[in-house]
Amino acid sequence: MKIMELEGQKELKGTIRISGAKNATVALIPAAILTDEEATICNVPEITDTDALCNILKELKVDIKRASESIIINPENMENIEIAESFSKKLRASYYFMGALLGKYKKAVMYFPGGCSIGARPIDLHLKGFEALGAKVTNEKNKYTVEADELRGANIYLDFASVGATINIMLAAVKAKGTTIIDNAAKEPEIVNVATFLNNMGAKITGAGTPTIKIEGVDHLGKCFHEVIPDRIEAGSYIIMGALCGNNLKIDNIIPEHIESLLSKLEEVGVKLDVGQDYVIVSKPEKYKPTTITTAVYPGFPTDLQQPFTILLTQAEGKSKVIETIWENRFMHIPYLNNLGADITVKNQTATIMGATPLKGTEVVATDLRAGAAMVAAGLLASGKTKITNVEHILRGYEQIVEKLTEVGAKITIKEI
């Protein structure tokens, strides 16, 4: 088990370079098996979720070469075998192999995926999409078999603009016969990145980034080279840390349009930002104003930044609220924040934060990935030492977090216990 230790109240100064987006990478790696030749993906973050997906590729006998920040994936000799539960439960995104294997071989056998326990996380919309394309789905003790004699384009309306279902249906539909339309599709930048990747291989996808995506099936997908977009959630997490402890902290290699909702909320609470073409410079203000944030699908305020943003609200004078509308269990960090000195109550899907309260270091738990980022933000701000356990959650999504924060002045270490 790994433990992280932080000594708080250090000024953060200098530059943090943002890595490739986790939530794009975890879809691009399974999507790469759809090529009949070879796919090169660069700007791939070195995080444990990337490793978990590469392990699945190895199980499927896919040839992979990893160099610094890039992966070359060649599925020429791959075998479509059942993905064991020990692999699928390592992360949520293992479910993208369902769409990709179905699209390539018309058959996928795997178990229910793992991932952060932030809600029930059903996959009914994914499965309904596969069925609409002509697949038969059977489920026996968590094992899913999805197969079709032929995949045919269809009109699919998603009851919720699910990121995972939108991507998975795209993966299954790229080689289907005819045209597929996904209505009420998710619009997140990661969807656009995956559609661009598939189009680079020869797919015919239009409308990604809008609520209606059109996919005209093709027979062959070829060689391609692709770059992962910068991670907007990693960027947002460090910008929030800069708003807490920064003195002209530069968050570099980002696409500011991808985090507009965060930037405007930061300005609303009194944080001054210098926003450039591919960077944001952020400093801690003298005081923060309270506000309400309501999480929503893109371009709304991202649920994945709600937890780190809450730390900022503990420093605002007066009453703030966080309303979580995407996940039913994303307030697990709150008891730990209260242990650090915050005054937060949770009722149903709303957290009410009374501020400002000083935070004092103690032992806390990273209950999930972004709760972990929130604990790091809290530890940077708090007086004294903060110890974070279950750090494995954080390492699933933040490349070189200790190195990046140390470089800008934080006192932070990870050790194995």
Given 6, 12, 19, 23, the residue binding ligand EPZ (CB under 6 A): 23
Tokens coding 51: 């490793």
DSSP letter at 160 equals: S
User: Which listed residue (18, 71, 102, 123) binds ligand EPZ by CB under 6 A?
Assistant: 123
- To ligand EPZ, the closest distance from the beta carbon of 328 in angstroms equals 7
Rounded Cα gap, residues 97 and 133, in angstroms: 16
Residue in 55, 119, 58, 138 with CA at minimum distance from that of residue 90: 55
The reply to whether 303 sits near ligand EPZ by the rule CB under 6 A is yes
Rg (CA), the chain: 21
Of 39, 407, 73, give the one whose Cα is nearest residue 251: 407
Residue 97 binds ligand EPZ, judged by CB under 6 A: no
Q: Which two tokens stand for residue 138?
A: 């059977």
CA distance 68 to 48: 15
| Binding residue (CB under 6 A) for ligand EPZ from 10, 66, 121, 143 | 121
Q: What is the largest CA-CA distance in the chain?
A: 64
- Under rule CB under 6 A, how many of the chain's residues touch ligand EPZ? 27
CA-CA distance, 401 to 162, in Å (whole number)? 28
Residue, CB closest to ligand EPZ: 164
Q: Any contact of residue 327 with ligand EPZ (CB under 6 A)?
A: yes
Among 61, 65, 81, 122, binds ligand EPZ (CB under 6 A): 122
Does the footprint of ligand EPZ cover residue 21 (CB under 6 A)? no
Report the residue from 92, 106, 226, 258 that binds ligand EPZ according to the rule CB under 6 A.
92
Q: What is the DSSP letter of 259?
A: G
Q: Which of 16, 132, 146, 165 binds ligand EPZ (CB under 6 A)?
A: 165
The answer to whether 377 contacts ligand EPZ (rule: CB under 6 A) is no
In whole angstroms, the minimum distance from the beta carbon of 130 to ligand EPZ comes to 11
Cα 370 to Cα 178, 191, 302, 310, 343, distances in angstroms: 40, 20, 11, 11, 20
Q: Annotated catalytic sites, by residue?
A: 116
Residue 103 Cβ, how far from ligand EPZ at the closest point, in Å? 18
Exactly one of 21, 93, 182, 337 binds ligand EPZ (CB under 6 A); that residue is 93
Burial of 194 (0-12, 13-18, 19+ CB in 10 A): buried
Q: Binding to ligand EPZ by residue 164, rule CB under 6 A? A: yes
The residues of the shown chain that bind ligand EPZ, judged by CB under 6 A, are 23, 26, 92-93, 116, 118-119, 121-126, 160, 162-165, 186, 233, 303-304, 326-327, 369-370, 397
